Chains A and B, each alone.
Chain A
Amino acid sequence: EAGVAQSPRYKIIEKRQSVAFWCNPISGHATLYWYQQILGQGPKLLIQFQNNGVVDDSQLPKDRFSAERLKGVDSTLKIQPAKLEDSAVYLCASSFHRAPGTDTQYFGPGTRLTVL
């Protein structure tokens, strides 16, 4: 079974530029998550999709971050304009969303963003 795919793996941009990340979840997984992991911290949830609808985006800085999951499969996360503090690894995860107590999130390799 193929895992969660993400691209690009690395991205370097200057502040005020825009950037987009792509995620392809595990086949059949209804739920997709984007996390931001700053160096030395644990991942922090940015947004959660159930199929193509947003379940939770309470921690997404909506003035500069946006995300979409068209057709309930692939997803893109965009930052426009980027700030220095956006330097982090952006992780995508997916889960099957079965019965409560059994849902496990599987993570992709992440995209390391450096903002100069």
Chain B
Amino acid sequence: DQQVKQNSPSLSVQEGRISILNCDYTNSMFDYFLWYKKYPAEGPTFLISISSIKDKNEDGRFTVFLNKSAKHLSLHIVPSQPGDSAVYFCAASSGGGADGLTFGKGTHLIIQP
């Protein structure tokens, strides 16, 4: 029973364009959502987060949108750069982020030159 789903295993985007990564969740108790980026042979690196009291959070080129009614969040990267090529994990937590994270399976983003 997957509580966090990333339905696109991979995504290819041209350099300079917008990358949009999607994530759906089923557990209504989740109230804190995070995106992590992972390079091969490294641990996940925190990218951006959003609390359930917000519907948008921005940090430089990265914006996360949360639609609670649809139980859906998305990560927008604008503009996409070659260094953005990595696996992106969506994660969710209850307890305001104090609880352990439930992860999706990840989306492999490939930025084409």
- Name A residues whose Cβ lies closer than 8 Å to a Cβ of B: 4, 6, 31, 33, 35, 40-45, 48, 56, 91, 93, 95, 97, 99-110, 112
Instruction: Check if A109 sits within 8 Å of B96, measured CB to CB.
Output: no
* Chain A nearest CB, measured from B49 CB (Å): 6
B59-113 contacts to A (CB < 8 Å): 89, 91, 93, 95-106
- Name B residues whose Cβ lies closer than 8 Å to a Cβ of A: 4, 31-32, 34, 36, 41-46, 49, 51, 53, 89, 91, 93, 95-106
19 A-B contacts (beta carbon < 8 Å): A33-B101, A42-B4, A42-B106, A44-B103, A45-B101, A48-B99, A91-B44, A100-B96, A100-B97, A100-B98, A102-B96, A103-B93, A103-B97, A104-B46, A104-B97, A105-B101, A107-B46, A108-B43, A110-B43
Instruction: Check if A107 sits within 8 Å of B44, measured CB to CB.
Output: yes
